[in-house]
Amino acid sequence: MGHDDNLVGRELERRARVIMPGEWAVEHERPIATLLGSCVAVALYDPALKLGGLNHFMLPYFSRSAGRSEVDALLAGDYAMEALLNAMLSRGAKKDRLVAKAFGGGMVISSLDQSQIGQRNVEFTREWLAREGISLRASDFLGQWSRKVVLDPRTGDVFCKRAASTLAISQRIESREQAYARRLAASKAQDNIELF
């Protein structure tokens, strides 16, 4: 990335709508950004509409099992990809025009489990896009770093900035993921309250 690209990327990041793990967004104008560790973010873009979307997921699949809430599905790639695709289609995108760019799956904390999660996320992403017939135009996967990703929905350009995996960055990513899980649990608890 050259000097001008850095300036453009920083300006987009400043104006961006930030999404957290388990979230997605679709925009015509406003940039969308996220911070990744072992998670993956996929950007979908419809060049005819100049419409872009970005998601952020933690695990490839949601498996229904005892003790797992329906809300956990939000963190899974199979749900996140369907949700993003449906959001794009509902805004007028055509599946045969969509192109994808994908990022993440890094190992920001040295643990075997995390490297396997990142690898599984990457494999899931490639398989899902191929199955849906959506071309993966660019990717930056795996490695020993976290990534800041910013999508410009007006052009479909994605700026990806790698950062060395420091303890502070790892803790920031883990903190965001835990905060999101707590918000989901609180939201689910509120949904279960009956008013009469």
Q: Say if 157 falls within a structural domain.
A: yes
Q: Say if 196 falls within a structural domain.
A: no
pLDDT digits (tens, 9 = 90+) for 126-151: 999 999 999 999 999 998 888 999 99
Q: In angstroms, what is the C-alpha Rg of the chain? A: 17
Tally of domains within the chain: 1
Q: Say if 100 falls within a structural domain.
A: yes
Distance CA 11, CA 154 (A): 14
39 is catalytic: yes
Q: Which residue range is the domain that position 177 belongs to? A: 3-189
- Phi/psi region, residue 22 (left: phi>0; alpha: psi -120 to 50; beta: rest), is left
Nearest alpha carbon to residue 100 among 112, 85, 113: 85
Q: What is the pTM of this model?
A: 0.80
Nearest alpha carbon to residue 42 among 155, 160, 164: 160
- CATH code of the domain containing 17: 3.30.1330.200
Q: Say if 115 falls within a structural domain.
A: yes
Among 25, 35, 39, 43, which one carries the catalytic annotation?
A: 39
pLDDT digits (tens, 9 = 90+) for 137-187: 999 999 888 899 999 999 999 999 998 766 666 666 666 666 655 655 555
> pLDDT-derived band of residue 66, with 50, 70 and 90 as boundaries?
very low
Q: Say if 23 falls within a structural domain.
A: yes
Query: Which residues lie closer than 8 Å to 78 by C-beta, 6 or more apart?
Result: 60, 61, 62, 124, 128
DSSP structure class, residue 76: B
- pLDDT, residue 73, reads 62
- pLDDT, residue 88, reads 98
Q: Say if 194 falls within a structural domain.
A: no
Q: Say if 117 falls within a structural domain.
A: yes
Q: Is the pLDDT of residue 11 over 60?
A: yes
> pLDDT-derived band of residue 52, with 50, 70 and 90 as boundaries?
very high
C-alpha pair distances (Å), 42 with each of 2, 64, 79, 149, 186: 23, 24, 13, 10, 27
Highest mean pLDDT among 4-8, 50-54, 191-195: 50-54
Pairing between β-strand 32-36 and β-strand 17-18 as defined by DSSP bridges: parallel
